[in-house]
Amino acid sequence: MWDFIQNEVLGMKWLNRLIDSILNTLGLDITSKIGGSISFFLYDVIKITVLLCILIFGISYIQSFFPPERSRRIMGRFHGIVANVIGALLGTVTPFCSCSSIPIFMGFTSAGLPLGVTFSFLISSPMVDLGSLVLLISIFGMKIATCYVLLGLVIAVAGGTLIEKMHMEDQVADFIRNHKDSIDIDSPELTRHDRIIFAREQVIETFKKVFPYILLGVGIGAVIHNWIPEDFIQTVLGSKNPFGVIVATLIGVPMYADIFGTIPVAEALLGKGAMLGKGAMLGTILSFMMAVTTLSLPSLIMLKQAIKPKLMGAFVIVCIVGIILVGYGFNIFQYLFI
């Protein structure tokens, strides 16, 4: 039953078979490079788009119960590492890219929440969310998806805790530290109809923002899947290169895409020659995904307006080191997942 759910419901393998059947009927050889690329592109774009819209609707409906004021009060009740865990978990129900998470991070910080808690949120929000968990399950399976999310939360909690221990509150921009809300106004209670409207608007807004990156990510994935030789992938990102995790992480940092646009690239890299043991290493791929979603250059430029260089450097180093450690850990234990 679980295999059916994973393959046919979440993975939508029936759609893959349908597309291949239609392309064959049209006289296109799906075993050729061009035919395989078209099949990969159509299947992944449709699958990811459908899952994205359904997931964002559900997540946004849940999120409507946790407006910023309520989230701020919830996190304010906890202290120490428990608060960091709450901050990281709150990030999992916010379907935002790294740039979208920064204004919320600024709001939480200006409200006086501990710096480590807000950074745990800032790390986890773009790196792991409920939508990415379901999409990862549909492509990589339950074990890989669960470990990815859990380790992403570990990085968020550990990173936020470490930053908290550095006592760098003075490294937050003055306009944020000096801004305090004088009145904490409760958000009006939303009706079910209001929540549905909110969720629908979030789907439309997120789709407009994310769809170009889905097209770009799937396009790159189709090229990798059908045109890039296995030996090249193995040389750069495979077990033959002990620095593959570091290379993948550093390549991912200046890129900008969210998890939905990055997963098709990861899918193609992992599947490239995997049956022959020539594909990219699992940990290397996951490190690339984490780096792209958490440390994109545009988000760092935005974050620079909110924090000073010393704190920025600490944030980047903590994230990179954590991502690299996770990558090598996955590579060591890859045999347990594939």
Give the pLDDT confidence score for residue 183 in this predicted structure. Answer: 40
| Nearest residue to 284 via CA among 256, 259, 265, 260 | 265
**240 vs 334: CA distance, rounded Å:** 15
Percent share of the chain, pLDDT over 90? 7
Greater pLDDT, 265 or 39: 39
- State how far the Cα of 280 lies from the Cα of 271, in Å rounded to an integer: 8
pLDDT digits (tens, 9 = 90+) for 146-190: 888 888 899 899 999 998 888 888 888 877 766 554 444 445 577
One-letter amino acid at 35 equals G
pLDDT of residue 96: 55
Return the bridge partners of 172, or none.
307
SS3 172: strand
Using the CB atoms, write b or e for 99-122: b if 16+ within 10 Å: bbbbebbbbbbbbebbbbbbbbbb
**pLDDT tens per residue across span 279-325:** 567 888 888 888 877 777 667 777 887 888 898 898 889 889 988 99
Looking at per-residue pLDDT, the higher value among 85 and 77 belongs to 85
Distances from the Cα of 13 to the Cα of 18, 20, 36, 261, 327, angstroms: 9, 11, 15, 20, 28
